[in-house]
Structure 1
Amino acid sequence: MSLDQSSGVPRSSDGTWERLSQVAVKGAEYDFRERQPHPKCLEGTRVDLLDYIRGLLENKEKSRIIWLHGTAGVGKSAVAYTIAERMRGLKVTEQTTTEKRLAGSFFFSRKHTKRCTTGYFFATLAYQFASNFASVREEVNRAIHENPALLDPDKSLHDQMEALLLQPLRRLRFRLRDGAPSVFVIDALDECTSKTEVADLISILGQALCDPDVPVIHILLTSRSEAHIHDAIQEEAVRPLVYEIPVKTTGESVAKIISLDGADVDNDICIFLEQSFRKLRSRCSNFPQPTKDEISRLASRAGRRFIVASTMVKFIDDGYNDPRDRLQLLLELTSDLLPGTEVYKLYDNILSSCADPKRAYLHLSVVAALADPLPISQISELLGPGEGKDVETALVQLRSVLDIPTDRSLPVNIYHSSVRDYVSDPSNCNLPQVQCIASPHSLLARSSLRLMVPDIRASTTFLDALLELEKQSQVMQAHDPLKLERSLSFAAGATTSSSLSAMASRRSRTRFVVLAGGPRWTCLVTVTRRR
């Protein structure tokens, strides 16, 4: 392997390093710029939790999985980012200058097709790991040269882990023996759409940490408190390796809970709100700094969920409305909310402030249903002259829950997965206008077909495929993803690439991609469903 003197990027003689670079998902790295502003714990917040995690990461005796879990919006990703940033700033040993303790990071996301699966997990970590430890690049390069299929996302996770991660780690066993443990940070594992993949990954990571020839390493793993993840963690081979947070600790004979949503979080949210309002006041001099009582009221309404507090600030400071009026709207929110419903109530209020709440909800649900996000102009064209009317006007009013780039050629994204939860079931919304809205998946399917019809060539092949698909659908049981996969695969095989291709993913059987012919819509839409 040689070094490109102009760019400083390592090159291999046969291009294997370059292929690894192309397969590695850059957006999964903790500090990828597309996710800016990055979630991060403010100075003076999460002090006990961060200190506890850092203490666990200093343990040199045994490799561990530190499992940080909690409900949506309590700040798991902010903690993961803060720990990753801290580890990136620490050297493995005092003698090294470039090798940092952060060995790699992977932030899962249901919004991106390569980050909602484990298929690219080990390739991504191997690229980061070998970039950090130059001495193992040859090992990684040789493994790929000998078995190029390691970069295939359908390749066995066990084979990928063994060749791309364990073998390089074994080479560093003696070098890292006296240094501080290296750390991998894995965020939002629940965003991986396949429960089977999640269980397999947890099992395989457990096997890796038990390898006697691997140096001590730690894995910070964050997720929602979902049953399938809990079950995988509780497996006999994995459980002894896991430190679980929330955790009950003792100090000076007093029991203490270290968690993401303990009583100390109320104060942390107050700090966050105070700092956010000071920044707003520096830009908007006529905005009065809220009183301590008002900040306490807002913090109480946040229900110890940072996503609620963050959304409140975005709602108040949206750049379009008078922040004083928006603040007053939030102060009038009832405090008698059931635990866990705070964010949904806030989303109700954000929608009710829109000129047309029903249309705003519809367009929000469409954005949340897209696995591959689209720009506003393409969403409008996709939905057509009826449902696609005034898409930009509606979405701009939802800036507090949507990331809408100033460059309109870039895709629109939801800020947080709780938005997808909210629109996944109309009963989560208490606005009467939205109760009769059709599923966004049905709307997207109809819109896709409408756009494709003009580009479909006059061909009996396509009609035959649709007739066969209809026959299969008549005998298909509801919620039968296996038969859905076979039906869609048949349709794809029976048509030409310039007309229609419908593909079912083996990795996520409830996802299908509709591809349309013509230059305008190469990849029209990816629709996903929760299992």
Structure 2
Amino acid sequence: MADFPQYFENLTGAHHFRIDQQIINLIAGNYNQYTPNGVQDLVLLLNPIPDASHTRNRKKSPPDSECFPGTREEPIGEVTAWADSSMVVYPIAIGKAPHVYWLHGFAGCGKSSISLEVAKKYAGSGRLLASYFFFRGAGERSTMNRFAATLASQLMTVIPATIPFMELSVCAEPGLLSGNVSLSAQLEGLVYKPFQAVMSGRLLEETSTKGPFIIVIDGLDECEDKRGAEEFIDHMLKFFDLHPNIPLRIFVASRVEQHIRERLETDGVLLGDLNSHWPGKDIEKFLRESFRTVARRDRVIQAYIQAHGEWPKKMDMDMLLKHIGGSFVLASTIFKFIIQSATEEDVTTPMERLPLTLELNGLDTLYTQTLARSQHLPHFHDIISTITFFTQSLPIAVIADLLGIEVFEVVRVLLNLQAIIHVPGTDEKGRVTFCHTSLRDFLTTQNRSGSFFVPPSFHLRLSYCFFSYILEKGGDVGQHFERRWELFTEVEASDITNEIEQFKARHPLHTDRLPYHAFICSAFFFSLFVDNPQTPDILKCQPRSTGKEHEYAVHVAVRALNPEPSSPHNANPGF
């Protein structure tokens, strides 16, 4: 590449004219001028997603989360130490410069808040090249369709010298922005190559002094285009392998989904486990400072403190912290619940709501409001009911297998509920648990939970799921089927009739799953023969118990032996 000239002349001897705003770049001896209209044309051509960066309106374009001042300093410090380190330090320690930092953890543990802090810090110092916050269900922001173009639009703002190289890429590959070109080609032509082309001379010297540029990618697990996410990771790692000295770092934050973990658990990627940083002290600081702030603004709270002294009292605060555990999102949700303004339906004051949150049924309103966020989604009741009835918590992937649905369908329901349900960072290993045991009590008490009530008769659904699981995948889960069937038979006959009607109305989740009437027949005869394995004559068999189960047997036999063959859920070519 040619050396920069010591000086240049432009429009020598010209007079009586005016030059409006222009962007002037001197790159490798080539002099380039761009009028504002030219830049605007390129922006229009790129058509970036306007609400994908860290500067978006978070109220309208979630996630709406940020670190409370003075909290999460330890994990943020680890990220900034990596981002600010020279390319010489890390090769000595781990053998290879880590261009990529992957921060992972369970849903709601604060990854997006830390991503925002990292983006703001390096935007302030001029080192943030671009930021992109994925969000599930947010249209194209949850895909890779305009990912490269959105990064490029931010890159050209930070380093205008990249503009001519982007234009060259678009001219050389007219379909670069049409969606007919691979994501790798888009990233190469619009982001990596333009950045690489300008990293010489004075700009490279400044970068060496200030530190490398940073790209922040948050919520990669929320990208609904898994193949696109895989292609992005593979191409990124390959690019850094080919260009180990390029002054660029990429920060990625996500849950530990398999397609991400398989690619990022490798050399050249620094791993940060947010779960290893217990946030208890940070949560306490957040709550204490937040209560002080609201007390200074709320005259009702001020009057209460003048009459009764400190609020919240130390004992109540200690109980609240124990109640919350290590969940920042639960802490924030409970705090907002306590200090919310009174309404016609709820005229209580914050001082009255605080002790309610510590009682067994004090969070019923919060549970109802939170569960309503996912109530409209497919399989909501099956997913919540399964978690409720399994005191031994299950991984997300197991819940999906058991119900015969996709993993992403379980994740989609749970992510809206992370204020009250712990959503693990990985689908295969971590386990789904309730943030507090009172949620299970709420869901199994009909006069408290209303439409969210999980009836005991749901054990029929679970026994069907285990029966189908045995037929589809085998495995030693027979004891689970037996247990769920036994629990179902303990239900009152009226409940059984209602549940069978509901069960019959459900379509099989997979076309190759056993029809409901075939399952009930099989389970019913199982209950007759289980205590008489040596007797082939059905007339000699007796039901296992008397009384209520005789009534139950009549209802089951009538429903099971009179299926409706025209019903679409009975059509199953596999049986």
Name the TM-score, length of structure 2 as normaliser.
Answer: 0.55
Normalized per residue, which structure has more helix?
A: 2
Cα deviation for residue 18 of structure 1 reads 1.9
Match of residue 204 from structure 2: 176
C-alpha distance 478-54 of structure 1, shift in aligned 2 (>3 A) = farther
Contact 2:330 2:419 (8 Å CA) reproduced: no
Distance 2:192 2:41 in 1: 22
- Amino acid of the structure 1 residue aligned with 2:331: A
| Structure 2 residue 322 is matched with structure 1 residue 295 | no
**Equivalent of residue 50 in structure 1, options 72, 76, 92:** 76
**Equivalent of residue 142 in structure 1, options 168, 180, 200:** 168
Contact 1:74 1:261 (8 Å CA) reproduced: no
Cα deviation for residue 349 of structure 1 reads 5.2
| Structure 2 residue 269 is matched with structure 1 residue 242 | yes
Match of residue 215 from structure 1: 246
**Equivalent of residue 41 in structure 2, options 15, 28, 33:** 15
**Equivalent of residue 351 in structure 2, options 314, 324, 329:** 324
Distance 2:138 2:180 in 1: 17
Distance 2:216 2:244 in 1: 21
Cα deviation for residue 187 of structure 1 reads 0.5
Cα deviation for residue 111 of structure 1 reads 2.8
Match of residue 280 from structure 2: 266
Contact 1:63 1:217 (8 Å CA) reproduced: no
Distance 1:32 1:82 in 2: 14
Match of residue 225 from structure 1: 256
Distance 2:106 2:331 in 1: 15
Match of residue 350 from structure 1: 366
Distance 2:422 2:272 in 1: 28
C-alpha distance 300-208 of structure 1, shift in aligned 2 (>3 A) = farther
Cα deviation for residue 364 of structure 1 reads 4.8
Cα deviation for residue 19 of structure 1 reads 1.9
C-alpha distance 213-9 of structure 1, shift in aligned 2 (>3 A) = farther
- Amino acid of the structure 2 residue aligned with 1:27: D
| Structure 2 residue 54 is matched with structure 1 residue 30 | yes
Contact 1:270 1:296 (8 Å CA) reproduced: no
CA displacement, residues 119-171 of structure 1 (integer Å, 9 cap, x when unaligned):
21111111101111011112113322443422234531111011001111111
C-alpha distance 31-16 of structure 1, shift in aligned 2 (>3 A) = closer
CA displacement, residues 339-359 of structure 1 (integer Å, 9 cap, x when unaligned):
xxxxxx96x65135x7xxxxx
3-state secondary structure, aligned to 2:417:
helix
Distance 2:329 2:78 in 1: 23
**Equivalent of residue 191 in structure 1, options 222, 245, 250:** 222
| Structure 2 residue 363 is matched with structure 1 residue 365 | no
Contact 1:365 1:423 (8 Å CA) reproduced: no
3-state secondary structure, aligned to 2:300:
coil
3-state secondary structure, aligned to 1:276:
helix
**Equivalent of residue 140 in structure 2, options 104, 110, 114:** 114
3-state secondary structure, aligned to 1:273:
helix
CA displacement, residues 451-508 of structure 1 (integer Å, 9 cap, x when unaligned):
xxxxxxxxxxxxxxxxxxxxxx99x9469xxxxxxxxxxxxxxxxxxxxxxxxxxxxx
3-state secondary structure, aligned to 1:49:
helix
3-state secondary structure, aligned to 1:57:
helix
C-alpha distance 228-299 of structure 1, shift in aligned 2 (>3 A) = farther
Cα deviation for residue 427 of structure 1 reads 11
Cα deviation for residue 88 of structure 1 reads 0.7
C-alpha distance 136-281 of structure 1, shift in aligned 2 (>3 A) = same
Distance 1:81 1:13 in 2: 28
Distance 2:146 2:137 in 1: 15
Contact 1:117 1:192 (8 Å CA) reproduced: yes
Match of residue 495 from structure 2: none
Distance 1:73 1:116 in 2: 18
**Equivalent of residue 131 in structure 1, options 141, 153, 157:** 157
C-alpha distance 478-228 of structure 1, shift in aligned 2 (>3 A) = farther
Cα deviation for residue 275 of structure 1 reads 1.8
Distance 1:326 1:9 in 2: 60
Match of residue 120 from structure 2: 85
- Amino acid of the structure 2 residue aligned with 1:303: G
CA displacement, residues 313-341 of structure 1 (integer Å, 9 cap, x when unaligned):
1211222342222222212259xxxxxxx
CA displacement, residues 192-215 of structure 1 (integer Å, 9 cap, x when unaligned):
123322222211111222232862
3-state secondary structure, aligned to 1:170:
helix
Cα deviation for residue 103 of structure 1 reads 0.4
Contact 1:11 1:18 (8 Å CA) reproduced: no
C-alpha distance 185-286 of structure 1, shift in aligned 2 (>3 A) = same
- Amino acid of the structure 2 residue aligned with 1:350: L
Q: How does 1:115-514 map to 2 (within 5 A)?
A: 115-153=141-179, 155-174=181-200, 175-177=203-205, 178-179=208-209, 180-212=211-243, 215-234=246-265, 239-246=266-273, 259-260=274-275, 262-263=277-278, 265-287=279-301, 288=305, 289-320=311-342, 321=346, 322-332=349-359, 350-352=366-368, 361=371, 364-366=374-376, 417-419=415-417, 430=440, 431-432=443-444, 433=450, 434-435=452-453, 477=511
Say what the alpha-carbon RMSD is for the aligned residues: 3.8
Contact 1:16 1:145 (8 Å CA) reproduced: no
Distance 2:134 2:330 in 1: 21
Contact 2:371 2:417 (8 Å CA) reproduced: no
- Amino acid of the structure 1 residue aligned with 2:132: F
CA displacement, residues 212-234 of structure 1 (integer Å, 9 cap, x when unaligned):
28622111110112222211213
C-alpha distance 152-306 of structure 1, shift in aligned 2 (>3 A) = farther
C-alpha distance 135-34 of structure 1, shift in aligned 2 (>3 A) = same
- Amino acid of the structure 1 residue aligned with 2:169: A
- Amino acid of the structure 1 residue aligned with 2:54: Y
Distance 2:130 2:179 in 1: 18
Distance 2:422 2:293 in 1: 34
Gaps of 5+ in 1: 91-99, 247-258, 335-344, 355-359, 370-413, 438-472, 480-531
Contact 1:76 1:260 (8 Å CA) reproduced: no
C-alpha distance 162-427 of structure 1, shift in aligned 2 (>3 A) = closer
C-alpha distance 307-420 of structure 1, shift in aligned 2 (>3 A) = closer
Contact 1:3 1:11 (8 Å CA) reproduced: no
Distance 2:320 2:22 in 1: 54
Count residues in correspondence.
Answer: 352
- Amino acid of the structure 2 residue aligned with 1:127: S
3-state secondary structure, aligned to 1:11:
helix
Contact 2:287 2:335 (8 Å CA) reproduced: yes
3-state secondary structure, aligned to 2:107:
coil
C-alpha distance 168-362 of structure 1, shift in aligned 2 (>3 A) = same
Cα deviation for residue 182 of structure 1 reads 0.3
Cα deviation for residue 305 of structure 1 reads 1.7
Contact 1:365 1:420 (8 Å CA) reproduced: no
3-state secondary structure, aligned to 1:282:
helix
3-state secondary structure, aligned to 2:234:
helix
**Could you say which structure has the larger radius of gyration?**
2
3-state secondary structure, aligned to 1:315:
helix
